[in-house]
């Protein structure tokens, strides 16, 4: 049993070394993962805050964009058709046609110049060919306009027209109600573009932060998996250690129980040593007495049979005579055997 306990204690010591080593490694890994997870959480919170700020600014532009969309839907196609039949458009109408061409990136060529009076650069003629011949297509293009990616060159040209003192909404409205809608829509697109100059850097920063965060999260996931593996191994080793410690306690209790039983057995054996001597002496005495049994019985029987009627002195004389006679017959008898 003791060899089993020694083996178990050796196993416990070996497993305990491994458990302590693994625990130390797990503590270090857990601390690293905890710090990186906290850092990732902060980075994620910063990215979300930046995204919300950008979204809040875009949300402020939502009513303005909704109004622009409504303006596009309510444009009078008939009035747009009518514009193309004007032989001598006003400066305001020509400038609005130039603005429309700039919005969609159309450039007037030599072939467009001189086709219409008051159209020195040919933009009115270009607008007839590009927009006014098909007002619905023009309106659809406005509705689907890529407001997120307006070229700076376009912005510069359009703002140059919008900022002209004579190009205000009242002047445009007096020239054409439909063009007033185009004016409003163009102004909204320019304002939205300016807003994007503030929002887009934040969007880019958010995208960069999210890309970095994705890498951090992936690396963190790997480390968390490694930590989980270490903790699983540690749990297995701890379970093995617990089992061995339980087995050690069981063996130790068993050994203690055996020692107690051995101690009690020793006491019993020690006590029985004295009994052995007494029993040996008793056996020797009984053996000696057994040899005298016949002679003593004769004396006792004679006294019982014949001694009752005589005096004490005569009885004693009778016992003495019987003992001497028994000895002569070769029968062992106790010296001084008497029933008196």
DSSP state letters, 220-235: HHHHHHHHHHHHHHHH
Closest CA relative to residue 26, chosen from 229, 241, 230, 236 = 230
- Picking from 186, 213, 238, the residue at the C-terminal end of a domain is 186
Q: Is residue 149 part of a domain?
A: yes
Q: Is residue 34 part of a domain?
A: no
What is the mean predicted confidence (pLDDT) over 83-103? 89
- Picking from 135, 169, 186, the residue at the C-terminal end of a domain is 186
What is the predicted pLDDT for the residue at 2? 65
Q: Is residue 200 part of a domain?
A: no
User: Could you tell me what percent of the chain has a pLDDT over 70?
Assistant: 94
Q: Is residue 15 part of a domain?
A: no
What is the mean predicted confidence (pLDDT) over 9-29? 72
Instruction: Evaluate whether 99 touches 186 at the Cβ level (below 8 Å).
Output: yes
Q: Is residue 2 part of a domain?
A: no
What confidence category does residue 9 fall into, taking pLDDT thresholds of 50, 70 and 90? low
Q: Is residue 304 part of a domain?
A: yes
User: Could you tell me what percent of the chain has a pLDDT over 90?
Assistant: 15
| Phi, psi (rounded to 5 degrees) for 90 | -75, 165
Q: Is residue 112 part of a domain?
A: yes
- Picking from 169, 186, 203, the residue at the C-terminal end of a domain is 186
What predicted TM-score, i.e. pTM, was given to this entire model? 0.54
- Domain of 305, in residue numbers: 279-328
Least confident of 28-37, 67-76, 193-202: 28-37
Q: How many domains does the chain have?
A: 2
Whether residue 289 is found in the same domain as residue 181: no
Q: Is residue 8 part of a domain?
A: no
């Amino acid at each position: 049993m003791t060899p089993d306990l020694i083996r178990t204690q050796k196993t416990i010591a070996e497993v305990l070394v491994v458990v302590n080593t693994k625990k130390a490694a797990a503590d270090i890994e857990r601390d690293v993962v905890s710090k990186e997870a906290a850092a990732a959480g902060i980075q994620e919170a910063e990215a979300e805050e930046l995204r919300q700020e950008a979204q809040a600014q875009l949300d402020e532009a939502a009513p303005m964009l909704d109004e622009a969309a409504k303006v596009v839907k309510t444009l009078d196609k008939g009035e747009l058709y009518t514009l193309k039949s004007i032989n001598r458009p006003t400066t305001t109408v020509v400038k609005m046609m130039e603005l429309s061409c700039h919005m969609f990136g159309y450039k007037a060529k030599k072939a467009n110049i001189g086709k219409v009076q008051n159209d020195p650069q040919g933009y009115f003629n270009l607008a007839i060919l590009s927009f006014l011949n098909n007002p619905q297509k023009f309106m659809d293009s406005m509705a689907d306009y890529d407001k997120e990616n307006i070229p700076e060159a376009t912005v510069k040209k359009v703002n140059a027209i919008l900022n002209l003192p004579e190009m205000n909404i009242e002047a445009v409205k007096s020239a054409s109600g439909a063009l007033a809608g185009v004016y409003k829509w163009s102004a909204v697109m320019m304002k939205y573009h300016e807003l994007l100059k503030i929002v887009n850097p934040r969007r880019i920063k958010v995208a960069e932060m999210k890309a970095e965060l994705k890498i951090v999260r992936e690396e963190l996931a790997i480390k968390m998996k490694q930590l989980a593996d270490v903790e699983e191994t540690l749990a297995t080793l701890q379970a093995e250690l617990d089992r061995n410690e339980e087995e050690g306690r069981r063996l130790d209790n068993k050994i203690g129980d055996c020692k107690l039983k051995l101690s009690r057995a020793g006491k019993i054996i020690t006590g029985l040593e004295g009994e052995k001597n007494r029993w040996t002496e008793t056996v020797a005495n009984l053996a000696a007495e057994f040899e005298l049994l016949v002679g003593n019985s004769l004396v006792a029987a004679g006294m019982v049979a014949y001694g009752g009627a005589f005096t004490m002195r005569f009885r004693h004389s009778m016992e003495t005579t019987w003992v001497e006679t028994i000895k002569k017959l070769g029968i062992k008898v106790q010296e001084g055997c008497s029933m008196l």
